Structure 1
Amino acid sequence: MLSTTCPGITADSMPLDVLRSAFAWLVTGPHPVSVDGRLFAGLPDRWLRLDEVRDLLLRRTCPQSVRDAVWTHLVQLARTEGSTWTVACTGIALPALLNVASKLTARFADDPRDVHSAVLTGFLAELTTVDLDRPRVMVRLRWAAYRSGHAALREALDTPTPSVSAIASASPVVPCGHPDFVLARAVEDGAISSTEAALIGLTRLEKVPLAVVAEQRGASYEATKKARQRAERRLALYLRGDTGAVSPNTSGSGVQGCERRPIASAHTSSPDVPAAPSSSTPEVPRCA
């Protein structure tokens, strides 16, 4: 157990704090876990500690191609060599995971531990299945973390609280908050599909050019543009409370079979939405 090997970690520690301590152990001492920078054009030609790799990937000047190449390498190591590299991947993604967890629990009055655990669980699950042949690996990992955390938060918020006020009738809650959260809830309520949430999240929140997304999805620019317009119209109806004509099943989105988002994360993240899913850490995970 990490709580018995990492100083300062107790049974009451938040899951992401435990992860932070475990990652710190990997990059300290005389033989820190490292990556050969010579494998990647654009990185220093030497062995790089994992925290150095994280910092380089988070720089705004870091090309997306370099981020994807490094993340593909890290995920492959996690899949083939196991625990050390799984912790390495999660530690390098920690700024994004903290951002996601912070956004989800910013107005959550109860113990956020379960939500934080779900964020981490979503990331780890996606680590085993994320398609490494497609670009923006980290954004899709983040989106998966956001979707998982959002589901846990939604479950916690939907759990009845014993109180007199619970007996009184109330109006439906209008979706609000961070755009990633709104997208995730719209997907859960059936207003738009996860594919459409990914399209909106990538192009509107992550600022990925529509032409780039169209090329990634194997669709024309015009078809992708129209698909986004249809999805955004239904999302607008949903946000206004008009639920009679927002089903994505009849939208003819033109992007069926494409990557779900997102949030993640969602991204939500991720899920390249969460984006939704993202805190005590600055808004930096999009660069990783």
Structure 2
Amino acid sequence: MLHSAHFSTLVSLDRQFRALDDQKPLLTLDGWKIGGTLPARDIRLSELADLLRGRRVDPQTKDAVWAELVRCAHSEGRGQRWTLGSIGVMLPALRRAVRRITADSRADSGDVESEVVVGFLEALKAVAPETRGLSTLLPRMAYQRALATLPRVERDQDRSFTGRSVPLTRYGHVDLVLSRAVDDGVLTPLDAEVIGRSRIEQLHLSVVATDLRLSYEDCVQRSRAAEKRLAAYLGYRSAS
């Protein structure tokens, strides 16, 4: 396998995405149909990628866009083009995932890129269009997959919570479990975000609190309460 000094999976996919954008029939999404903060017209995927990188598209609209992209990628007869198109739209988030992993490990960046892309493709295939929070769920699943298959990333461990981690993996992909728990009213979206960032991404709760604009004390209490409810939801008793 060629390493990152000679070959970049993401650069190659970006080139393929740009070439795809000019191929007929053009791949577009109907901004009027999706609504939200998108322009009310057909939008080519390269323009869509630029729009989603900006701040004018709100999170709900981003999720609606990804619901439609997932639906298109799952559609029979056009999956390959829409899958490549979906990768192209997600490239900025995939690059961020690669930077996070390579900054914390000695893993080869070429290997990390490959694993992140495979993780995204697995996630794209696994999720349903109606799944909540797709714009953040999909890149996180890609990130997790790369973490799980590459050499262990050393991170600061948060010692503020003394309970045990909830064994989510026996119930399916961890983020999909969290999403189902939100759908069932066990967790709020913010609860799921705290658990995902602290237990799955292994970020210190002080970092999670800053990212989510919570006080550190509130973040710790929310983590404890949410993990306890999640453990009970999964049929486990939380540690006393």
Q: SS of the counterpart of 2:74? A: helix
Q: SS of the counterpart of 1:125? A: helix
Equivalent residue, structure 2, for 1:102: 99
Given the alignment of the two structures, is residue 22 of structure 1 paired with residue 16 of structure 2, yes or no? yes
Equivalent residue, structure 2, for 1:264: none
Distance in 1 (CA, whole Å) between partners of 2:187 and 2:136 is 22
> Does the C-alpha gap of structure 1 residues 122 and 31 become closer, same or farther in structure 2, counting only changes over 3 Å?
same
Given the alignment of the two structures, is residue 153 of structure 1 paired with residue 128 of structure 2, yes or no? no
Equivalent residue, structure 2, for 1:282: none
Alignment equivalent of 1:61, drawn from 47, 53, 56: 56
Given the alignment of the two structures, is residue 131 of structure 1 paired with residue 128 of structure 2, yes or no? yes
Alignment equivalent of 1:13, drawn from 1, 7, 10: 7
* 1:73 to partner: Cα distance: 0.8
Equivalent residue, structure 1, for 2:71: 76
TM-score normalised by structure 2 residue count: 0.64
Equivalent residue, structure 2, for 1:193: 166
Given the alignment of the two structures, is residue 47 of structure 1 paired with residue 57 of structure 2, yes or no? no
Partners of 2:120 and 2:139 within 8 A in 1: yes
> Does the C-alpha gap of structure 1 residues 137 and 110 become closer, same or farther in structure 2, counting only changes over 3 Å?
closer
Equivalent residue, structure 1, for 2:89: 92
Equivalent residue, structure 2, for 1:253: 228
* 1:127 to partner: Cα distance: 0.5
Distance in 2 (CA, whole Å) between partners of 1:142 and 1:112 is 17
Given the alignment of the two structures, is residue 37 of structure 1 paired with residue 34 of structure 2, yes or no? no
Given the alignment of the two structures, is residue 175 of structure 1 paired with residue 155 of structure 2, yes or no? yes
Q: Which runs of 5+ in 2 are unaligned?
A: 169-173, 205-225, 235-240
Partners of 2:166 and 2:230 within 8 A in 1: no
Q: Which amino acid aligns with 1:219?
A: V
Q: SS of the counterpart of 1:100? A: helix
Which is greater in Rg?
Answer: 1
Q: Deviations over 1:187-238 (max 9, x none)?
A: xxx952376xx89xx9xxxxxxxxxx986450377xx69x97xx89xx98xx
TM-score normalised by structure 1 residue count: 0.54
Partners of 2:112 and 2:150 within 8 A in 1: yes
Equivalent residue, structure 2, for 1:218: 185
Partners of 2:104 and 2:155 within 8 A in 1: no
* 1:132 to partner: Cα distance: 2.7
Partners of 1:57 and 1:67 within 8 A in 2: yes
* 1:154 to partner: Cα distance: 2.2
Distance in 1 (CA, whole Å) between partners of 2:51 and 2:227 is 41
In proportion to residue count, which structure has more helix? Answer: 2
> Does the C-alpha gap of structure 1 residues 216 and 151 become closer, same or farther in structure 2, counting only changes over 3 Å?
same
Q: Which amino acid aligns with 2:35?
A: A
Higher relative CO (Cα under 8 Å, sequence separation at least 6) belongs to: 1
Q: Which amino acid aligns with 2:228?
A: S
* 1:92 to partner: Cα distance: 0.3
